[in-house]
Amino acid sequence: MNSDNESIERRILAVDIGGNNLKILSPGVEERKTKSGPTLSARQAVDAIILMAKDIEYDVISIGYPGPVHNNTPSREPANLGPGWQGFDFVEAFGKPLKLLNDALMQAIGSYKGGRLLFLGLGTGLGSAMVIENVAQPLELAHLPYKKQQTFEDYVGKRGLVGRGHMKWKASVFDVVARFQAALLPDYTVIGGGQIDELDELPNGCLRGDNRLAFQGGFRIWQDSSIIL
């Protein structure tokens, strides 16, 4: 049996860590979730995942993390969670083969249909990633300066929606998407995240994402050897 077949037969646990919820999914098992939030530490997240998955048999894990990742570990503390993430060893904590990647990148991989994809996640913050000819690349666009000494995330994340109102938020989303499309030249753009339901229409060249595709990305990185991380 070749290694590709062996990887397909692995039982995968996919984890999506968000600013509001921590969710897990394994094939054949319904999605499970618990609250996350601004006090959630890495150790608490691991304990919550283990508890939620206590009756699930899995061989490998994929985790979408809301921040930059280097060498399978968080390289920066998350903006919307608690402390203790940077440098945390998830492989040691779970004792299983594990792939940790930016959460927007995991959803981008689950949304990818070839060519040049730009993914933007409108959630608690702003997630961003590209997949170009099967090469998956996380981006860190959220905290770049935008207007009035504020960032893109300040305008199109949850704070912008709550603080500025729906109409101004939507106008900012359309403007920000157009700027990123002009700079990054995607073939298509997928907009996902928790605030996607607030958009009754989408900017030109955009497709509506689905947060469940983050799990599909988590499965795909173990199953599809053509995807390059």
pLDDT single digits (tens) 53-72:
999 999 999 999 999 999 99
Per the structure, the complete domain to which residue 17 belongs is given by 12-105+214-223
Percent share of the chain, pLDDT over 70: 97
Per-residue pLDDT at 6 exceeds 80: no
Provide the mean pLDDT of the chain: 94
pLDDT tens for residues 9-64? 789 999 999 988 999 999 999 999 999 999 999 999 999 999 999 999 999 999 99
pLDDT tens for residues 112-160? 999 999 999 998 889 999 999 999 999 999 999 999 999 999 999 999 9
Q: Are residues 205 and 219 in the same domain?
A: no
Q: Is residue 4 part of a domain?
A: no
Q: Is residue 7 part of a domain?
A: no
Please state the rounded mean pLDDT for residues 100-114: 97
In three-state secondary structure terms, 62 is strand
CA distance 139 to 184: 11
pLDDT at 80: 86
In the structure encoding, which two tokens stand for residue 201, read together? 């229409």
Q: Is residue 34 part of a domain?
A: yes
pLDDT at 4: 47
In the structure encoding, which two tokens stand for residue 44, read together? 């608490």
Per-residue pLDDT at 210 exceeds 80: yes
Indicate the pLDDT class of residue 211, thresholds 50, 70 and 90: confident
Q: Is residue 228 part of a domain?
A: no
Measured between alpha carbons, how far is residue 124 from residues 19, 47, 91, 193, 195 in Å? 6, 23, 27, 8, 8
Q: Nearest 10 degrees: CA dihedral of 106, 112, 116, 118?
A: -50
Number of domains in the chain: 2
Q: Are residues 201 and 219 in the same domain?
A: no
Per-residue pLDDT at 1 exceeds 70: no
pLDDT at 79: 85
Q: Are residues 129 and 83 in the same domain?
A: no
Q: Nearest 10 degrees: CA dihedral of 21, 25, 31, 35?
A: -20
Rounded to two decimals, the pTM is: 0.92
